[in-house]
Amino acid sequence: MTQLDPTFGLIVLGRGDPRLARATLAAAETWRYRPARIVLAVPRGREHAFAAMSGSAGVTVVAAAEPDMLAAAVAALASDVDIVIATPEGVVLGPRWLDAVRDHVILYEDSVAGVDLVRQVVKITTDGDGVSDLAVAERPREPGLLSWLRGLIRARSLLGAVFWARVETLRQVKLATTGEGGDAVAFMLALDHLRLRGRTTVRFTPHARHVRLLPERRTGFDAGYGLYRRLEQLAETRRAAAAVGPLAPSHLDHGLERLRLLAEQAVRSVVGTAGKHNAATFLKGALAARRDGVSVRRIVARDLRELR
């Protein structure tokens, strides 16, 4: 394990559908440089859904509370690898993606971590069977213009994302995962903490695809509420910190991200086709979170005025 020959560990954050996790793991088998360790992190209580994968050669299953999944997975492989790669289930990383990251960490010793956003989407219609594998490699790639437009206008928090970092830097920060759809937010928050320790990067990658299963199994109200509220809490934390002293720029513009989130779901709920109902309920959840946030701020402001 040297700077010129780093070893990699892969973490897959599994949540709901084992087929998505298997698709991510299957893609790693095509890499020229195979991961030294592979960890599948799942929410505690959901181990049964991934039981068939626990016996897979080279795959270690780690169960933890949702906010602690990433930290628990890193702890499970940190002693055996130089570079940690973490991604949610359904993000399929091609061999050229790992080649690019490997070249980057070898060439730039001061580069400590990065997030790659995935704008290529593969939509697969299923029959509800949770056993059969997804033939992602056989699916045609979508037009490049469509992917470019998605990267331009879509909320970053809803894009597929990959996080990589040098292990020695991860030991110095607190890692936390967020709920479904919020992995990019959690990854970029980790980058904010790592910024002072070296170079960090956020970029789009053409060498990965994000698999989405249709039709949507449930409404998006809870996901919309949780994600929007998470963004508001992060923005409030930064405002409070800014009142104390100057802040380094964040890798995620929280105001712009909330605007993108609402605008995209509003458009999809009106003119969308597949996932139209899910977009409408997601938007309702996000708007409910926005109303609750406004109410809380008004109550706090009123209480402060009364204390003066």
Whole-structure pTM value: 0.85
Q: What's the pLDDT at 249? A: 85
Q: Where are the beta strands (DSSP E) in the chain?
A: 8-13, 37-43, 59-64, 83-88, 91-93, 111-118, 121-125, 160-166, 199-205, 208-214
Q: What is the rounded average pLDDT of the residues 231-256?
A: 82
**Rounded distance between C-alpha atoms, residue 38 and residue 76, angstroms:** 10
What's the pLDDT tens digit per position in 37-69? 999 999 998 888 888 877 676 899 999 998 889
Q: What's the pLDDT at 122? A: 86
**Rounded distance between C-alpha atoms, residue 217 and residue 299, angstroms:** 37
Q: Where are the domains positioned within the chain?
A: 8-214, 221-307
What's the pLDDT tens digit per position in 263-299? 888 888 877 665 678 888 988 999 999 999 888 888 8
Contacts of 123 (CB under 8 A, 6+ apart): 212, 213, 214, 274
**Rounded distance between C-alpha atoms, residue 27 and residue 29, angstroms:** 5
- Low-confidence winner among 211-215, 253-257, 269-273 (lowest mean pLDDT): 269-273
Q: How confident is the model at residue 240 (pLDDT cuts 50, 70, 90)?
A: confident
Contacts of 142 (CB under 8 A, 6+ apart): 120, 121, 122
pLDDT averaged over every residue in the chain: 85
Q: What's the pLDDT at 232? A: 86
8-214 carries CATH number 3.90.550.10: yes
